[in-house]
Structure 1
Amino acid sequence: MYSKNTLNEDITMALAHEVKSPLSLIKANIELLELENVLDNHKKNVKIIKNEINKISEIVSDFMLFCNQNYKKDLTKINLLDLVKDYIEKFNVYMNITFSLNCFEDEKDITILSEYYKISVILSNIYKNCVESISDKQGFIQTNIYIKNNYIIIDVIDNGKGLDEEISKKIYEPFFTNKSSGSGLGIPICINAMKSINGKFEIFNNKKYGCTTRIKFKK
């Protein structure tokens, strides 16, 4: 028997999937026409269309992730240090941002049994938000891994613009965003994912600059 919430999530997932498929097909056909030089006289328009398709596709993906948090995935052994290193490497392509990593524990003590997919989504959202907060200025993103009060803690610290008072009140709300594009689901996705694996998520302003995003895994 379906609960009302489960039924609504399944309907939303199905609808999002049905929207995402034609979007992918539209984008593929535009790229094919580009290769055949059919659209050479409309390059500006094509760029706008592709950008908007990418925005819609990203929003649909966020909806699918948001609705997918309650589904249990297979548990796997995860070395948090190795996973953080992977994401730092993926995002370390910005010339204006310096990345640093400090692990204050032995690697065997920060290995957990959890859902790899969910933690990957969380880290991806965190580093993406940090990069967007720094924008084009000279910045840094520092990651600290340590154990405190029986939690493995990952702090991701940036020197971006931080959160003003109004945004900090609403940042955990689904669909709230101060960006020109996006679904406003990035942080709620992280919160739901951490809750589903008995962890905690928080984001707060630093005293002097930027934000710290903290995720806590129960040992």
Structure 2
Amino acid sequence: MTLPEKRSPIDELRLRYEELAELAGSLAHEIKNPISVIHMNIDLLGEDLEELNAPETRRAMERVQIVREQCERMQGLLRDFMKYTKLRDIDLVSGSLNDQVEAVLRAYSAEASQRGIEIKRYLDGDLPYIALHSDSLQAALMNLVKNAMEATDRGGQILARTYVTKSGVAMDLIDTGRGVDNNTILHMFEPFYTTKEGGSGLGLPTARKTIEAHGGRIGVQSEVGQGTKFTLEFPALRRIVSGLNETEQDQPAT
């Protein structure tokens, strides 16, 4: 009789994490349905009260609005949480980090112009390709750019640059915004930690999980009143020799 292979403590921990993540995702999905029903019925109740058009319904309408807002907040939390729990295994293909960065910056160009924020880009044209999942990576980058926009006042700047490193490629996202203190830096990647009113506290944890699913890592430097710099690092699909790219390179998927 063959004995089952004994798992290492790390494998046991990973298995328990995956089981817990699956259970949490299923629970979030089950909670989502009754929240949707509550939201729908509170909307119908609000319509009924509006039709009465009586002065005494004003207070009831205010309470209906409070319930509606909290339902929307719960739905947003559940949506973000389900994204967080699903980020385990994603299919990666060869692609350009520059293309992903450029697509995200274009998406925010109109808002930046309205806010009076200048976006600068310094993208290395010789950047080697990385293994990526376009939708999830762009979502992570959009979260970082969105945070930078919200932290930067009119007249400020957001700078994105990509470059080659000894182990692969990297991207810096730098803003001249309000910055954060050391305590926030220590906790900003923890699920549900947030300094923003109404925030879910899952944006940055999900971004980090996405980047780690790409074999990368994310770091942050910030100073209150001076701005913030996020640095994302990814392994390249070809080796880097003494800081120079080799000639062989996988072509991106079309």
TM-score between the two structures when normalised by the length of structure 2 = 0.70
Deviation for aligned residue 1:213: 1.0
Map 1:4-23; keep pairs closer than 5 Å.
4-23=16-35
Please give the root-mean-square deviation of Cα atoms over the aligned residues, in Å.
3.0
Map 1:49-68; keep pairs closer than 5 Å.
49-68=67-86
Query: Is residue 150 from structure 1 mapped to residue 170 from structure 2 by the alignment?
Result: no
1:217 to 228, 234, 242: 234
CA contact (8 A) 1:81 1:110 kept: no
2:149 to 108, 112, 131: 131
CA contact (8 A) 1:39 1:46 kept: no
Map 1:138-217; keep pairs closer than 5 Å.
138-205=155-222, 209-217=226-234
The whole-number CA distance in structure 2 between the counterparts of 1:74 and 1:67 is 16
Deviation for aligned residue 1:200: 1.0
- Residue deviations 1:7-40 (CA, integer Å, cap 9, x gap): 2111111121223344455556777888x89747
- Residue deviations 1:73-115 (CA, integer Å, cap 9, x gap): 2222332222212211222324122222221233xx3432222
Deviation for aligned residue 1:157: 0.8
**Residues 1:214 and 1:29: Cα distance change in structure 2 (over 3 Å):** farther
Deviation for aligned residue 1:207: 9.5
Query: How many residues are matched?
Result: 213
Secondary structure at the aligned position of 1:217 is classed as strand
The whole-number CA distance in structure 1 between the counterparts of 2:40 and 2:106 is 29
The whole-number CA distance in structure 1 between the counterparts of 2:166 and 2:150 is 32
Which has the greater radius of gyration? Answer: 2
- Residue deviations 1:111-135 (CA, integer Å, cap 9, x gap): 322223331231122112112222x
Secondary structure at the aligned position of 2:205 is classed as helix
Map 1:53-132; keep pairs closer than 5 Å.
53-70=71-88, 72-92=89-109, 93-94=111-112, 95-96=114-115, 97-106=117-126, 109-132=127-150
The whole-number CA distance in structure 2 between the counterparts of 1:124 and 1:59 is 18
Deviation for aligned residue 1:215: 0.7
**Residues 1:207 and 1:53: Cα distance change in structure 2 (over 3 Å):** closer
- Residue deviations 1:128-172 (CA, integer Å, cap 9, x gap): 2112222x5432211111112232111111111101122222223
Secondary structure at the aligned position of 2:145 is classed as helix
Q: Structure 1: state its 5+ residue gaps.
A: none
Secondary structure at the aligned position of 1:179 is classed as coil
